[in-house]
Amino acid sequence: PPPVVVVVVARVAMKLAEYEEIRAHITSLPSDVFPDADALRAKHPSASLDALVSIYSQESSRRVRGAHGKHLRAIGSHAARYVAGEDVFRIAADIDFPPCQLVRLLLEHLLGLGHKAVGPCLRDPFGKIPSSPPPESPAARGVPGVPGVPGSAICDRLKVDVERCVAWDHVASPAVDVMRHAAGREYEILLERRLEELRVPFVTEDALRAEGHAKTPDVKLTLPIAVNGRIVNWIDSKASFLDPIVHVERGVDQFQGYVNRFGPGMVIYWLGVIDELAEESDGDVFIVDDFPGDMEITKLKLME
Protein backbone atom coordinates (compact mmCIF):
# COMPACT_ATOMS: atom_id res chain seq x y z
CA PRO A 1 0.00 0.00 0.00
CA PRO A 2 1.15 3.61 -0.61
CA PRO A 3 2.74 5.42 2.33
CA VAL A 4 0.47 7.56 4.47
CA VAL A 5 1.07 11.27 4.00
CA VAL A 6 1.12 13.15 7.29
CA VAL A 7 0.35 16.85 7.11
CA VAL A 8 1.85 19.70 9.12
CA VAL A 9 0.20 23.12 9.40
CA ALA A 10 1.81 26.43 10.38
CA ARG A 11 0.92 30.15 10.51
CA VAL A 12 -2.67 29.30 11.44
CA ALA A 13 -5.20 31.93 12.38
CA MET A 14 -8.59 30.47 13.35
CA LYS A 15 -9.76 28.05 16.02
CA LEU A 16 -12.04 25.19 15.00
CA ALA A 17 -14.77 26.42 17.37
CA GLU A 18 -14.72 29.86 15.77
CA TYR A 19 -14.86 28.33 12.29
CA GLU A 20 -17.83 26.16 13.29
CA GLU A 21 -19.64 29.23 14.65
CA ILE A 22 -19.09 31.10 11.39
CA ARG A 23 -20.12 28.07 9.38
CA ALA A 24 -23.29 27.57 11.43
CA HIS A 25 -24.33 31.17 10.80
CA ILE A 26 -23.68 30.91 7.06
CA THR A 27 -25.57 27.65 6.66
CA SER A 28 -28.56 29.04 8.59
CA LEU A 29 -29.15 31.64 5.87
CA PRO A 30 -31.22 31.01 2.72
CA SER A 31 -29.09 30.37 -0.34
CA ASP A 32 -30.00 33.73 -1.89
CA VAL A 33 -28.89 35.74 1.16
CA PHE A 34 -25.27 36.87 1.37
CA PRO A 35 -24.05 37.06 4.98
CA ASP A 36 -23.40 40.44 6.56
CA ALA A 37 -19.62 40.54 6.27
CA ASP A 38 -19.29 43.61 8.50
CA ALA A 39 -21.24 41.94 11.30
CA LEU A 40 -19.19 38.76 10.98
CA ARG A 41 -15.93 40.73 11.04
CA ALA A 42 -17.11 42.61 14.15
CA LYS A 43 -17.91 39.34 15.90
CA HIS A 44 -14.81 37.51 14.61
CA PRO A 45 -12.11 40.20 14.27
CA SER A 46 -9.35 37.65 13.72
CA ALA A 47 -11.05 36.37 10.55
CA SER A 48 -10.09 38.19 7.37
CA LEU A 49 -12.72 39.21 4.84
CA ASP A 50 -11.10 36.88 2.29
CA ALA A 51 -11.39 33.96 4.73
CA LEU A 52 -15.08 34.69 5.38
CA VAL A 53 -15.84 34.91 1.66
CA SER A 54 -13.98 31.65 1.03
CA ILE A 55 -15.86 29.85 3.82
CA TYR A 56 -19.15 31.15 2.43
CA SER A 57 -18.25 30.05 -1.10
CA GLN A 58 -17.23 26.55 0.01
CA GLU A 59 -20.37 26.07 2.11
CA SER A 60 -22.56 27.32 -0.74
CA SER A 61 -20.99 24.84 -3.15
CA ARG A 62 -21.58 22.00 -0.68
CA ARG A 63 -25.19 23.03 -0.22
CA VAL A 64 -25.75 23.03 -3.98
CA ARG A 65 -24.20 19.58 -4.39
CA GLY A 66 -26.23 18.22 -1.50
CA ALA A 67 -29.55 19.56 -2.82
CA HIS A 68 -29.04 18.88 -6.53
CA GLY A 69 -30.46 15.36 -6.53
CA LYS A 70 -33.59 16.39 -4.65
CA HIS A 71 -34.38 19.17 -7.11
CA LEU A 72 -33.51 17.03 -10.12
CA ARG A 73 -36.18 14.58 -8.95
CA ALA A 74 -38.65 17.42 -8.39
CA ILE A 75 -37.94 19.27 -11.63
CA GLY A 76 -41.31 18.32 -13.13
CA SER A 77 -43.07 20.23 -10.36
CA HIS A 78 -40.65 23.17 -10.57
CA ALA A 79 -41.11 23.32 -14.36
CA ALA A 80 -44.90 23.33 -14.06
CA ARG A 81 -44.74 26.31 -11.72
CA TYR A 82 -42.40 28.10 -14.11
CA VAL A 83 -44.47 27.44 -17.24
CA ALA A 84 -47.61 28.54 -15.37
CA GLY A 85 -45.98 31.97 -15.05
CA GLU A 86 -44.29 31.98 -11.65
CA ASP A 87 -41.08 34.01 -11.56
CA VAL A 88 -37.88 31.95 -11.59
CA PHE A 89 -36.44 33.90 -8.65
CA ARG A 90 -39.57 33.30 -6.57
CA ILE A 91 -39.38 29.57 -7.24
CA ALA A 92 -35.65 29.50 -6.44
CA ALA A 93 -36.22 31.34 -3.15
CA ASP A 94 -39.12 29.08 -2.23
CA ILE A 95 -37.12 25.88 -2.75
CA ASP A 96 -33.87 27.44 -1.41
CA PHE A 97 -31.84 26.67 -4.52
CA PRO A 98 -29.62 29.10 -6.48
CA PRO A 99 -31.41 30.58 -9.52
CA CYS A 100 -28.68 29.55 -11.96
CA GLN A 101 -28.87 25.96 -10.77
CA LEU A 102 -32.65 25.99 -11.11
CA VAL A 103 -32.56 27.44 -14.60
CA ARG A 104 -29.97 24.82 -15.60
CA LEU A 105 -32.43 22.10 -14.61
CA LEU A 106 -35.27 23.90 -16.37
CA LEU A 107 -33.27 24.05 -19.60
CA GLU A 108 -32.44 20.36 -19.39
CA HIS A 109 -36.01 19.37 -18.57
CA LEU A 110 -38.09 21.71 -20.73
CA LEU A 111 -35.86 21.70 -23.84
CA GLY A 112 -34.38 18.22 -23.45
CA LEU A 113 -30.85 19.58 -23.48
CA GLY A 114 -27.87 17.51 -22.46
CA HIS A 115 -25.76 18.67 -19.53
CA LYS A 116 -22.94 19.89 -21.79
CA ALA A 117 -25.33 21.95 -23.91
CA VAL A 118 -26.55 23.98 -20.94
CA GLY A 119 -23.27 25.82 -20.29
CA PRO A 120 -23.24 27.61 -23.68
CA CYS A 121 -26.89 28.58 -23.11
CA LEU A 122 -25.94 30.33 -19.87
CA ARG A 123 -23.06 32.15 -21.52
CA ASP A 124 -25.10 33.23 -24.57
CA PRO A 125 -28.82 32.69 -23.94
CA PHE A 126 -30.08 34.72 -26.92
CA GLY A 127 -27.67 32.99 -29.27
CA LYS A 128 -27.85 29.40 -28.03
CA ILE A 129 -31.39 28.87 -26.71
CA PRO A 130 -33.58 27.99 -29.74
CA SER A 131 -36.58 30.07 -30.75
CA SER A 132 -38.74 26.94 -30.72
CA PRO A 133 -38.24 23.85 -28.53
CA PRO A 134 -37.14 20.52 -30.01
CA PRO A 135 -40.21 18.53 -31.15
CA GLU A 136 -39.95 15.78 -28.52
CA SER A 137 -39.18 18.06 -25.58
CA PRO A 138 -41.70 18.74 -22.79
CA ALA A 139 -41.88 22.41 -23.83
CA ALA A 140 -43.08 21.30 -27.29
CA ARG A 141 -45.38 18.50 -26.15
CA GLY A 142 -46.90 20.50 -23.33
CA VAL A 143 -46.17 20.51 -19.61
CA PRO A 144 -48.64 18.39 -17.60
CA GLY A 145 -51.12 20.55 -15.72
CA VAL A 146 -50.25 23.70 -17.70
CA PRO A 147 -51.93 23.37 -21.11
CA GLY A 148 -51.92 25.92 -23.89
CA VAL A 149 -48.52 27.56 -23.37
CA PRO A 150 -46.70 27.80 -26.73
CA GLY A 151 -43.22 26.33 -26.82
CA SER A 152 -41.87 29.47 -28.48
CA ALA A 153 -43.13 31.56 -25.56
CA ILE A 154 -41.31 29.26 -23.11
CA CYS A 155 -38.08 29.65 -25.11
CA ASP A 156 -38.40 33.42 -25.24
CA ARG A 157 -38.95 33.58 -21.51
CA LEU A 158 -36.05 31.25 -20.78
CA LYS A 159 -33.69 33.51 -22.73
CA VAL A 160 -34.60 36.50 -20.59
CA ASP A 161 -34.59 34.57 -17.32
CA VAL A 162 -31.22 32.93 -18.00
CA GLU A 163 -29.73 36.38 -18.52
CA ARG A 164 -31.34 37.60 -15.27
CA CYS A 165 -30.10 34.61 -13.27
CA VAL A 166 -26.54 34.91 -14.56
CA ALA A 167 -26.51 38.60 -13.67
CA TRP A 168 -27.87 38.26 -10.13
CA ASP A 169 -26.91 34.84 -8.80
CA HIS A 170 -23.93 35.30 -6.44
CA VAL A 171 -23.60 31.57 -5.72
CA ALA A 172 -23.81 29.58 -8.94
CA SER A 173 -23.45 32.04 -11.82
CA PRO A 174 -20.78 31.30 -14.45
CA ALA A 175 -19.33 34.69 -13.47
CA VAL A 176 -18.58 33.25 -10.02
CA ASP A 177 -16.56 30.45 -11.62
CA VAL A 178 -14.66 32.97 -13.75
CA MET A 179 -13.79 35.06 -10.69
CA ARG A 180 -12.73 31.96 -8.73
CA HIS A 181 -10.45 30.86 -11.56
CA ALA A 182 -9.00 34.37 -11.88
CA ALA A 183 -8.28 34.51 -8.14
CA GLY A 184 -6.54 31.14 -8.31
CA ARG A 185 -4.36 32.30 -11.16
CA GLU A 186 -3.47 35.55 -9.36
CA TYR A 187 -2.17 33.62 -6.37
CA GLU A 188 -0.21 31.28 -8.64
CA ILE A 189 1.43 34.33 -10.22
CA LEU A 190 2.19 35.68 -6.74
CA LEU A 191 3.87 32.39 -5.83
CA GLU A 192 5.96 32.44 -9.00
CA ARG A 193 7.02 36.04 -8.40
CA ARG A 194 8.12 35.32 -4.85
CA LEU A 195 10.23 32.40 -6.04
CA GLU A 196 11.76 34.57 -8.78
CA GLU A 197 12.58 37.29 -6.22
CA LEU A 198 14.40 34.68 -4.14
CA ARG A 199 16.10 33.32 -7.27
CA VAL A 200 14.76 29.85 -6.60
CA PRO A 201 14.52 28.02 -9.96
CA PHE A 202 11.30 26.11 -10.64
CA VAL A 203 9.26 24.37 -13.31
CA THR A 204 5.60 25.39 -13.79
CA GLU A 205 2.58 23.10 -13.85
CA ASP A 206 2.17 23.59 -17.61
CA ALA A 207 5.77 22.54 -18.22
CA LEU A 208 5.33 19.46 -16.04
CA ARG A 209 2.22 18.44 -17.94
CA ALA A 210 4.08 18.91 -21.21
CA GLU A 211 6.56 16.36 -19.89
CA GLY A 212 3.70 13.86 -19.46
CA HIS A 213 2.80 14.27 -15.79
CA ALA A 214 -0.98 13.97 -15.33
CA LYS A 215 -1.48 15.48 -11.87
CA THR A 216 1.04 18.08 -10.83
CA PRO A 217 1.56 20.81 -8.22
CA ASP A 218 1.70 24.42 -9.34
CA VAL A 219 5.50 24.49 -9.23
CA LYS A 220 8.23 21.87 -8.97
CA LEU A 221 11.45 23.30 -7.58
CA THR A 222 14.54 22.57 -9.65
CA LEU A 223 16.50 22.41 -6.40
CA PRO A 224 14.75 21.73 -3.09
CA ILE A 225 14.60 24.40 -0.40
CA ALA A 226 14.19 24.03 3.34
CA VAL A 227 11.41 25.93 5.13
CA ASN A 228 11.87 26.02 8.90
CA GLY A 229 14.02 22.94 8.49
CA ARG A 230 11.54 21.01 6.31
CA ILE A 231 12.55 19.92 2.81
CA VAL A 232 10.29 21.32 0.06
CA ASN A 233 10.49 19.89 -3.47
CA TRP A 234 7.23 21.34 -4.79
CA ILE A 235 4.67 24.01 -3.88
CA ASP A 236 0.94 24.08 -4.53
CA SER A 237 -1.07 27.30 -4.35
CA LYS A 238 -4.68 27.31 -3.10
CA ALA A 239 -6.80 30.48 -3.30
CA SER A 240 -9.09 29.18 -0.57
CA PHE A 241 -9.53 28.60 3.15
CA LEU A 242 -8.50 25.20 4.51
CA ASP A 243 -11.35 23.78 6.58
CA PRO A 244 -11.61 20.21 7.89
CA ILE A 245 -13.73 19.02 4.97
CA VAL A 246 -11.34 20.37 2.35
CA HIS A 247 -8.45 18.88 4.32
CA VAL A 248 -9.94 15.37 4.32
CA GLU A 249 -11.81 15.23 1.02
CA ARG A 250 -9.56 17.14 -1.35
CA GLY A 251 -6.25 17.79 0.32
CA VAL A 252 -4.56 14.65 1.58
CA ASP A 253 -5.36 12.40 -1.39
CA GLN A 254 -4.22 15.00 -3.90
CA PHE A 255 -0.98 15.68 -2.06
CA GLN A 256 -0.32 11.94 -1.66
CA GLY A 257 0.25 11.76 -5.41
CA TYR A 258 2.64 14.70 -5.37
CA VAL A 259 4.66 13.17 -2.53
CA ASN A 260 4.83 9.83 -4.33
CA ARG A 261 6.19 11.50 -7.48
CA PHE A 262 8.33 14.35 -6.17
CA GLY A 263 8.93 13.88 -2.45
CA PRO A 264 7.96 16.27 0.41
CA GLY A 265 6.40 19.61 -0.49
CA MET A 266 4.47 22.64 0.72
CA VAL A 267 0.91 23.89 0.18
CA ILE A 268 -0.11 27.51 0.66
CA TYR A 269 -3.76 28.13 1.55
CA TRP A 270 -3.62 31.89 1.05
CA LEU A 271 -6.97 32.59 2.72
CA GLY A 272 -6.20 30.78 5.96
CA VAL A 273 -6.30 27.47 7.83
CA ILE A 274 -7.67 26.20 11.15
CA ASP A 275 -5.48 26.03 14.26
CA GLU A 276 -6.35 22.46 15.20
CA LEU A 277 -4.94 21.17 11.93
CA ALA A 278 -1.56 22.29 13.26
CA GLU A 279 -1.69 19.44 15.76
CA GLU A 280 -0.69 16.98 13.05
CA SER A 281 2.68 15.34 13.60
CA ASP A 282 5.72 15.81 11.36
CA GLY A 283 5.15 14.67 7.80
CA ASP A 284 5.65 15.10 4.08
CA VAL A 285 3.30 18.02 3.39
CA PHE A 286 3.89 21.39 5.03
CA ILE A 287 0.77 23.60 4.99
CA VAL A 288 0.98 27.37 5.52
CA ASP A 289 -1.27 30.36 4.91
CA ASP A 290 1.37 32.66 3.41
CA PHE A 291 4.65 32.46 1.55
CA PRO A 292 7.42 31.93 4.13
CA GLY A 293 9.62 34.85 5.09
CA ASP A 294 13.19 35.07 3.84
CA MET A 295 14.59 34.08 7.23
CA GLU A 296 12.55 30.87 7.20
CA ILE A 297 13.95 29.65 3.88
CA THR A 298 17.27 27.92 3.31
CA LYS A 299 18.35 27.59 -0.31
CA LEU A 300 20.46 24.62 -1.29
CA LYS A 301 23.44 25.03 -3.56
CA LEU A 302 24.90 22.76 -6.19
CA MET A 303 28.32 21.37 -5.32
CA GLU A 304 30.93 22.84 -7.63
What pLDDT band is residue 30 in, cutting at 50, 70 and 90? very high
Q: Which amino acid belongs to residue 268? A: I
Average pLDDT over residues 243-257: 80
How large is the average pLDDT for residues 60-81? 95
What value does the mean pLDDT take over residues 190-204? 94
What pLDDT score does 68 carry? 95
Collect contacts of 219-222 with beta carbons under 8 A, ≥24 apart. 219/191, 219/192, 219/195, 220/262, 221/195
Residue 16 bridge partners (DSSP): none
Between 194 and 253, residue with greater pLDDT: 194
Q: Per-residue pLDDT for 59 more than 50?
A: yes
Give residue 280's pLDDT band: very low, low, confident or very high (50, 70, 90).
low
Given this model, what pLDDT does residue 8 score?
Answer: 46
Of 140-144, 180-184, 226-230, 274-278, the poorest mean pLDDT is in: 274-278
Dump pLDDT digits (tens) for 283-292.
Answer: 788 888 899 9
Query: What does pTM read for this prediction?
Result: 0.84
> How confident is the model over 82-106, as pLDDT tens digits?
999 999 999 999 999 999 999 999 9
- Mean pLDDT of the region 151-156: 95
pLDDT of 65 reads 93
In whole angstroms, what is the distance from residue 231 CA to residue 210 CA? 25
